[in-house]
Amino acid sequence: MLYTEFNMEDALEVRFEEGVEKGIEKGIIQGEEKKLKEQVEKKVAKGKSIETIAQELEETTEVIRQLLEQG
């Protein structure tokens, strides 16, 4: 029989570290989305079409439209 001692401190530390990792990943994703949205807004202000913007930013037109709808 395998005996494993449960240590609450270790469990909480692991949970904390996992939370930090998830938070960092979420922050990176939000930063990337914010940067893309800023780029799209600048290109729209220059009068570029959604299709041109999508091509220049290597995104789909659907992604560009969603960013513009978010306002």
Long-range (24+ apart) CB contacts under 8 A made by 11-18 are: none
Give the predicted TM-score (pTM) of the model.
Answer: 0.74
Distance between CA atoms of residues 13 and 20, nearest Å: 11
How many degrees, rounded to 5, is the angle at CA 41 between CA 39 and CA 47? 110
Distance between CA atoms of residues 19 and 3, nearest Å: 28
pLDDT in tens, 31-71: 999 999 999 999 999 999 999 999 999 999 999 999 999 87
Distance between CA atoms of residues 12 and 14, nearest Å: 5
Question: Does residue 5 surpass a pLDDT of 80?
Answer: no
